[in-house]
Structure 1
Amino acid sequence: MSHDAGARRPWVDSEVAALREVVLHRPGGELRRLTPANKAELLFDELVWVDRAQQEHDALAETLAGQGVAVRWLTDLLTQALADPADRAALAAELVTADTVGVELVNRVRAHLGELDAPEFVATIIEGLTVTDVAGAGDGLVTGVVGGGGFLLPPTTNLTFTRDPSAWIGPGRLMARMSRAVRRTERRLWDYAYAGHPNPAVARSPVWYGAGGRVGQPATIEGGDVLVLSPRCVAIGISERSHPVAAENLASALFANGVCEEVLAIDLPKSRTTMHLDTVLTVVDHDAVVWWPGLPEVARCWRITPGHPRLRVACEPDLRAALARGLGVDALRVVTTADDRVLADREQWDDGNNTLAVRPGAVIAYEAGGCGWLALGCGWLALGDVDRLDGDLQLAGRGLIGDLLAHARAQQGGAQRRLRADDHGLIGAVLPAAEQHLEPLAVAVGDRDDVAVGDGVADRRALADLGVGQGVLELADAGLELSLLLLGDLVLGVLADVAVLTSGLDGRGGLGAPARLELL
């Protein structure tokens, strides 16, 4: 979310413009409610290592804050919005009804919630409520059947995915109509979260579609299927979770309010692997996207524009050309996580194409989702592992990159350059002697000579250019768990299980024009 500098109006008209503010939810007790028996119902493929998830999420929040992004926490906004007991009672009455808990338990469950203060109430709504949590609730038919561990209020296990219940488009927002019943409490919580935001312009912002929280089947739509390509064009995925009826309705609402001039409706296979548009396609620069290589084969695209009295709809046979036009560029650079289709499908399953741009060319992505292949595909050579969460290297990588930048600027006046033989002392001089035995250190070297050859992959000889012994730098399989530290004129920093990649991407696998050196 970005803000108008004067009026402080929230505004989003690009996927890659400088990010100013985000709302996050730290994984918590709701994920400890997952069991082998209920994980599928709660939309998880496997149980979650919660402590590790929290560490990784903390790393993400720290990275964003380090980039000047204001990080707000969903629980804080909800606690503020629900400070008044009357507001908590109203939400409890909405969530606890005869249809959700049965006539015998309605008053008991509402009374239980009424005894909680705002932080406790918010935690309970998020983490869920079982029969054993409510005194005297275990003596009726409903509780007798579901048992003591049965949920009276299900946990909001997907709340960490804050992109889905709401999406900003221009100066307003989509309030999602969630496809799965188990996620509809999340959507309602976002109404309260916006009401609790300290900037009153947020709560006053228009809702283009989905106001009131009503779910009109089949017209469901979720935020993960909305990409704001440019001020004039929005892409909407038609997926397992978002229906063409809702896509058409949202497009009509955007046109009626003058929000955009064109909508690209991208029809995806209705399967778990292509759940949302942002699992197969995300924007990483003004003219570049990361996509699953199978996308052009399975997706169909329509261009929707305003018409009177009906919308104009035209089939777009070339997805790449349609996206380029939507982004306002002549040619689209496309990056994939792997050239091999088997590997690409594996990386896509792990959300390898699901990235977040904090500014043009500076991207945060899942480490396990194929960033190693992404790096190699762009002419980067990835070596080893840097800044692990388990503490093996503590923050050695971050100190290294900072000193390298200072060293380079001092010698070159800030000019961009590639590491060559004259940089022999750069690595060894930076790492303290006590740390030089640590292995392996992650580095990516873009070999421009190799790019000229045309295969787009750095040669092993690039290691010799660095003049560093194999005791420090060891070639590793990029498919392993990597925290990439990309050095020189190509690359960005790293943190925990979040890999950050920068600009200079060339759809042919080359490095393109020199990119700015940025530290995340």
Structure 2
Amino acid sequence: MTTPFRIFSEINELEKVIVHRPGKEIENLSPEYMEELLFDDIPNLRIAQREHDEFVKALSSKGAEVVYLTDMATEALKEEHVRKKFITEYLHSSLKHLRYDSGIYYSLEEFLVSKPPAELVETVISGVRRNEVNVKSEYLMAEMINHDFPFYLDPLPNMYFTRDPAAIIGESISLNLMDQKARKNETLFLKYIVKHSHDYVNKDIPIIYDKDDGFPIEAGDILILSPDVIAIGISARTSPHAIEKLFRNLRTLKTGFKKVIAIQIPKKRAFMHLDTVFTQVDIDKFTIHPTVMKIAAEMDIYILQENKDGEIEVEKRNDLTKTLKECLALEELTLIPVGDGQAIEAAREQWNDGSNTFALAPGTIITYDRNYVTNDTLRAHGINVIEVPSSELARGRGGPRCMTMPLKRK
């Protein structure tokens, strides 16, 4: 049975994509807990929402269907027994440290079960403050000690970066184990959408990786370069173990992908995922951070593929350009530096995700308007650049590619 997913390219014409409009979860950010929730600053929600609306207009400008994660999750949870199962799984994941405090657990369960699907989805994404629910803990001293922390269920302010929790690879889906505690529950929404929404239920969708597989991997590190080749970053958020396990699953399920190019990138905040330093913008053109460009001929790169006996082998390479040209059968390849390769401009615009572009079609991409030096450089290389406003969206440290989970490309 053909699945409703189809992603064999980073740049082919976009047909369908999932996004999440920032919501009340952003209003649950406070200076004291920003770092724990992976933010460096607090976005202005109203402006961020207006910017996201402009982003959605850009995504649909070439005819693509844009669907909202909250709508899909609401539809997936319409049946009461599915909602209860979701709530149980969500609470077990969120309250591991309180699992044996049945007072808190059952109070929150009762609070969530009472909500209709749309309100339930909004509530778990927004987070549950301690003053929103009456809880009687079994352990009085523990409740008094923990009372300074304002949440029973943490908000999910990174949810508008829909890229990372799951990835469509060919006609399969990877349900990722997120590396950071603040993001681990995001994958659960995609799991229930795939298994219970009317678009996907009974479609026998292959799950190529599961969050229970044990090793962290995030889709910001996964770039589908061709029907044969995937590039995956070995980063602060994606382990080499997960990459190899994913490749083995790809081969077992006979997905058609023949090679994985595993690229080690610096484990720094500004180099969070592979797509924060490197994205494809046309058949033979890529954006790249100048720091990576400087070491492009001496990187740690690993090619995973099957040998003639059907066994997986790993070949080590060092030159990024040569490796890409070889694996993608390209005679020429252009690496376009962020900030036109200038040190200050590159550092500033890389911080605001200058490399994190999103392709609507070959040679047509969406970028943040604030990265005007990079955008002019891309135009000089023949790329059609569609700019979207980004003063507040960029505060979450993610760009246009981060805010999308493509479901179908031509």
TM-score, with length taken from structure 1 = 0.69
Please give the secondary structure, in 1, of the residue aligned with 2:14.
coil
Identity in percent: 30
Counterpart of 2:206, as a letter, is: P
Structure 2 residue 212 is matched with structure 1 residue 214: yes
* 1:10 shift after superposition: 1.5
Please give the secondary structure, in 2, of the residue aligned with 1:113.
helix
Q: Which residue of 2 aligns with 1:129?
A: 128
> Residues 248-259 of structure 1: matches in 2 within 5 Å?
248-259=244-255
Q: Does the 8 A contact of 1:239 with 1:275 survive in 2?
A: yes
* 1:309 shift after superposition: 6.4
Q: Which residue of 2 aligns with 1:356?
A: 358
Q: Which residue of 2 aligns with 1:243?
A: 239
Structure 2 residue 183 is matched with structure 1 residue 183: yes
Equivalent pairs counted in the alignment come to 380
Please give the secondary structure, in 2, of the residue aligned with 1:23.
strand
Counterpart of 2:30, as a letter, is: T
Q: Does the 8 A contact of 1:224 with 1:276 survive in 2?
A: yes
Counterpart of 1:195, as a letter, is: K
Q: Which residue of 2 aligns with 1:152?
A: 152
For residues 228 and 120 of structure 2, the distance between their equivalents in structure 1, rounded to whole angstroms, comes to 42
Structure 2 residue 11 is matched with structure 1 residue 16: yes
Q: Does the 8 A contact of 2:10 with 2:359 survive in 1?
A: yes
For residues 8 and 205 of structure 1, the distance between their equivalents in structure 2, rounded to whole angstroms, comes to 6
Q: Does the 8 A contact of 1:234 with 1:326 survive in 2?
A: no
Distance 1:319 1:45, change over 3 A: same
* 1:37 shift after superposition: 0.6
Q: Does the 8 A contact of 1:209 with 1:253 survive in 2?
A: yes
Deviations 1:71-112 (CA, angstroms, capped at 9, x unpaired): 111111111111122222212222224634433211111111
Distance 1:287 1:202, change over 3 A: farther
> Residues 86-485 of structure 1: matches in 2 within 5 Å?
86-97=81-92, 99-101=96-98, 102-137=101-136, 140-147=140-147, 150-200=150-200, 204-210=204-210, 213-214=211-212, 216=214, 219-259=215-255, 260-296=257-293, 297=295, 299-307=299-307, 308=309, 310-338=311-339, 339-368=341-370, 370-376=371-377, 378-379=379-380
Please give the secondary structure, in 2, of the residue aligned with 1:106.
helix
Please give the secondary structure, in 2, of the residue aligned with 1:330.
coil
Distance 1:243 1:202, change over 3 A: farther
Gaps of 5+ in 1: 1-5, 381-488, 499-520
Distance 1:359 1:197, change over 3 A: farther
Q: Does the 8 A contact of 1:178 with 1:215 survive in 2?
A: no
For residues 374 and 240 of structure 1, the distance between their equivalents in structure 2, rounded to whole angstroms, comes to 27
Deviations 1:306-347 (CA, angstroms, capped at 9, x unpaired): 134642211222101212233332111111122212321222
Please give the secondary structure, in 2, of the residue aligned with 1:352.
coil
For residues 264 and 376 of structure 1, the distance between their equivalents in structure 2, rounded to whole angstroms, comes to 27
Please give the secondary structure, in 2, of the residue aligned with 1:13.
coil
* 1:292 shift after superposition: 0.6
For residues 287 and 196 of structure 2, the distance between their equivalents in structure 1, rounded to whole angstroms, comes to 35
Distance 1:495 1:243, change over 3 A: closer
Higher RCO (C-alpha 8 Å, min separation 6): 2
Moved more, 15-24 or 317-326: 317-326
Counterpart of 2:130, as a letter, is: V
* 1:493 shift after superposition: 5.3
Counterpart of 2:219, as a letter, is: G
Moved more, 370-379 or 242-251: 370-379
* 1:146 shift after superposition: 2.5
For residues 116 and 280 of structure 1, the distance between their equivalents in structure 2, rounded to whole angstroms, comes to 42
TM-score, with length taken from structure 2 = 0.86
Please give the secondary structure, in 2, of the residue aligned with 1:34.
coil
Counterpart of 1:55, as a letter, is: R
For residues 197 and 318 of structure 2, the distance between their equivalents in structure 1, rounded to whole angstroms, comes to 43
Please give the secondary structure, in 1, of the residue aligned with 2:156.
coil
Q: Does the 8 A contact of 1:132 with 1:149 survive in 2?
A: no
For residues 272 and 37 of structure 1, the distance between their equivalents in structure 2, rounded to whole angstroms, comes to 19
Q: Which residue of 1 aligns with 2:65?
A: 70
Distance 1:203 1:143, change over 3 A: farther
Larger Rg: 1
Please give the secondary structure, in 2, of the residue aligned with 1:234.
strand
For residues 230 and 490 of structure 1, the distance between their equivalents in structure 2, rounded to whole angstroms, comes to 20
Indicate which of 30, 40, 56 corresponds to 2:35.
40
For residues 69 and 96 of structure 1, the distance between their equivalents in structure 2, rounded to whole angstroms, comes to 35
* 1:244 shift after superposition: 0.6
Counterpart of 1:116, as a letter, is: K
For residues 377 and 21 of structure 1, the distance between their equivalents in structure 2, rounded to whole angstroms, comes to 25
Please give the secondary structure, in 1, of the residue aligned with 2:43.
coil
* 1:151 shift after superposition: 1.5
Moved more, 319-328 or 9-18: 319-328
Q: Does the 8 A contact of 1:301 with 1:317 survive in 2?
A: yes
For residues 137 and 68 of structure 1, the distance between their equivalents in structure 2, rounded to whole angstroms, comes to 52
* 1:198 shift after superposition: 4.1
Counterpart of 2:243, as a letter, is: A
For residues 232 and 202 of structure 1, the distance between their equivalents in structure 2, rounded to whole angstroms, comes to 27
Deviations 1:379-433 (CA, angstroms, capped at 9, x unpaired): 38xxxxxxxxxxxxxxxxxxxxxxxxxxxxxxxxxxxxxxxxxxxxxxxxxxxxx
> Residues 49-60 of structure 1: matches in 2 within 5 Å?
49-60=44-55
For residues 497 and 182 of structure 1, the distance between their equivalents in structure 2, rounded to whole angstroms, comes to 23
Please give the secondary structure, in 1, of the residue aligned with 2:354.
coil
What is the RMSD of the two structures over their aligned residues, measured on CA atoms? Answer: 2.4
Distance 1:239 1:494, change over 3 A: closer
For residues 106 and 250 of structure 1, the distance between their equivalents in structure 2, rounded to whole angstroms, comes to 34
Q: Does the 8 A contact of 2:125 with 2:155 survive in 1?
A: yes
